[in-house]
Chains A and B, each alone.
Chain A
Amino acid sequence: MTDVMLTVYHLYPDLLNLYGDRGNIIAFRRRCEWRGIAVQVREINLGERIDFTDADFLFLGGGSDREQDLMAEDLSSRRANLRDAFEDGMVTLAICGGYQLLGRYYRSLSGRVIPGLDLLDFYTQAGTTRLIGNVAVGISVPGRIVHVSGFENHSGQTFLGEIKPFGRVLSGHGNNGADGTEGARYKNVFCSYMHGPLLPKNPALTDYFIRLALERRGRDGFLAPLDDGFEDAANQVMLSRLKIL
């Protein structure tokens, strides 16, 4: 269909291979393949020599404290390269810990400030209660607003500066449980607290990411429609339960 090969960078899968996050990689890949778009997934491990500007889609997940520290250390040595790729329009999905890391800092309950990569304008403050549960978010993609469902589980509360949110909370907590925002978006960098299989059951979002990646390569972003019966049903089960029309 198209002669382009999209390259997916999956960051630290051996470290962060939990929480079902790999569902996002699987969904991106499958939905490309079903349309004849070639995809290669590169699993990037700590210390590996890479150039982010080679990537079309970057996935950055979350982990427990120990893993997150290792990830932060590794990424801080690649900060300039990552910034270049962001500016260049690389499509990125950063979840939970990966999201927080891209911001200015994380302030713990004791007041200790842990610097972030300071690539995006937001900060995170540790909260006293975890924000856990199913969540529905309205996210605008060209021409419409899609209702996305997911699951959040975070104690950090994120507050946005001069940056747009990823979407508006329809049900659930979102960034901080107070201002109705969920996630953050800068250029083609999308950040969210919706962990686990966000892309599989929200195909409109996945296709939007694929389209952005193709257009960045100067290709036509038209994607042949697929049968999304199962995906829509899975999403609808949750939206109905959360009473979102």
Chain B
Amino acid sequence: MPFRLCAAVWAGKTVAALSRMLGHRGSSLPGHVALRIYPGTLRALARRAKKGVILVTGTNGKTTTNNMIAQMLSDAGHSVIINREGANMLPGIATAFVRSAGVNPAYSFDYAVLEVDEASFPRVVEQVNPDVVVVTNFFRDQLDRYGELDQTISFIRDALRKLPKTRLVLNGDDPLVAQLGRIGPETTYFGLAPHGRVLDTSGASREARFCPLCGTDLHYSFYHYSQLGLYECTGCGFERPEPAVQGWEAVSSVDETTCRVVLDGRDFRLNLPTQGFYNLYNALAALCAGSGLRLEPETMLKSLYHYKPEIGRLQHFRHRGRPLYLNLVKNPAGFNESLAILLAARGSKDLYIAINDNAADGRDISWLWDVDVELLAEPDLEINRFLCSGERAAEMAVRLKYAGVSARKIGVEPRVQDAVGEMVRGGGDAAYLLATYTALWPTEKALSTMSDGK
């Protein structure tokens, strides 16, 4: 091991230990330090993967998909390196390796499974040569304005062109993702067959309007949500590709989501212990990647059946027998999906929405007006209380009020601790807590302390 790499790894490990002692989550600093000492750290350590490097990118579902793949591989007996949630830019990814790497040059592992921020993707693949790249979806994020999404996609496309040996695992239902399929030597798609969920095409985003390849109108025969669905270009003939891994007859209930899926030519049932159709997409992505790595269908499905959601991914708490659900919201597509879960649930509810506008959340919160909040004004929904929290709590209250929610039901409590307390004591059969990124941790912490637990 070259001296500088050795020094970089040691320094990184020392920083990691120090920051743990200080109680920081600081998941990017060790990698940052290591890269400063030796810029080739990441490149050198990533080469130690014996069987392969898998990168997961896209707008929503990166963390979940990545963790699902890592869990499957680990359940199949492989040693795996993974980055911590959110630490998905260059320093965070370097941290994952530094943390796991020994200074012994013979140290190696089977797989590195890494979620990568979309904008950082081109820089990451300059250092790490992936065997498989999984792309979940491309949605307009709160930071995205004036075609920045188009630009991000084009950078990823250019980066993929420089990786002629990388296999691609793509969401075939998303035309923005599926357009990348023409690049790789081997591309497999995952997707979801039309199912019984009510369609609302009015919620379809602008991304669904035009073909990403030729700009002509796209024709849809079915929408799942946003631009995901069964599409066909009326101009160049670009259409939803036939998925290698497809979910059928999807059903979501209060505590599980299931569908049929054909793997290795055999019919299986995929059971996920969580709500939300978007989680099916994450699981199908993981199955598609896992199949490519020759994992046994039974092993993969068992892994998914025991999958534990990450913090804030529809995390389940309980207090005096009453369930409380915590979910991250960071863009209109994800927020609408959270609302869909709420709309499908029976019984009376309390709803908490915490909005921060720090850099990690996006400083511009205009996107709240692109969320279909109007659905919450439906009186049959039995939402007793709407409590807004976080630094921009009042603005969320304005959004609810103009959506038609009765002002009497709306409360503003910017202090997360107090707002969560009110939710824990709330009167509804269940409580739903939605929070943007930086509001998620304090909400989770308050919930863990105040409720009876998970």
Contact = CB atoms under 8 A, between A and B. Distances in A.
A196 interface: yes
Contacts of B367: 19-20
A231 B399 CA distance: 9
Given A66-B210, A227-B407, 5 more contacts: A19-B370, A66-B215, A230-B398, A231-B398, A233-B412
A66 B217 CA distance: 13
Interface stretch (B30-38, B142-150, B157-165, B175-183): B142-150
A171 interface: no
A104 B12 CA distance: 56
A19 B392 CA distance: 17
B364 interface: yes
Contacts of B402: 23, 26-27, 30, 200
Contacts, number: 92
Contact of A19 (B145, B209, B391, B401): B145
B314 interface: no
B394 interface: yes
Contact of A18 (B140, B391, B410): B140
A195 interface: yes
A242 to B, nearest CB: 13
B4 interface: no
Given A66-B215, A153-B146, A230 B369 contact: no
Contacts of A234: 392, 394-395, 397-398
A80 interface: no
Given A65-B147, A134-B363, A20 B394 contact: no
Contacts of A201: 395, 398
A59 B397 CA distance: 24
Nearest to A154: B146
Contact of A237 (B140, B209, B369, B391): B391
B399 A200 contact: yes
B364 A233 contact: no
A53 B403 CA distance: 29
A151 B398 contact: no
Interface of B: 140, 145-147, 150, 205-206, 209-210, 215, 363-370, 391-392, 394-395, 397-399, 401-403, 407, 410, 412
A197 interface: yes
B395 A153 contact: no
A196 B366 contact: yes
15 contacts: A17-B370, A18-B206, A19-B366, A20-B369, A21-B369, A22-B370, A23-B402, A151-B363, A151-B364, A196-B369, A200-B399, A201-B398, A230-B410, A231-B398, A234-B395
Given A23-B402, A66-B215, A233 B366 contact: no
A115 interface: no
Contacts of B215: 66
A233 B150 CA distance: 36
A133 interface: yes
A174 to B, nearest CB: 17
Nearest to A14: B209
Interface in A162-215: 195-197, 200-201
A128 interface: no
A109 to B, nearest CB: 15
B147 A230 contact: no
A181 to B, nearest CB: 22
A15 interface: yes
Contact of B206 (A15, A30, A62, A200): A15
Give the 9 A-B residue pairs with the shortest CB-CB distance, closest first.
A196-B366, A20-B366, A20-B369, A64-B147, A23-B369, A233-B394, A234-B394, A234-B395, A230-B397
Contacts of A195: 366
A46 to B, nearest CB: 12
Contacts of B370: 17-20, 22
A65 B149 CA distance: 12
Contacts of B147: 64-66
A63 B430 CA distance: 40
A22 B370 CA distance: 8
Nearest to A30: B402
B407 A237 contact: no
A62 B366 CA distance: 13
Interface string A23-38: 1001100100000000
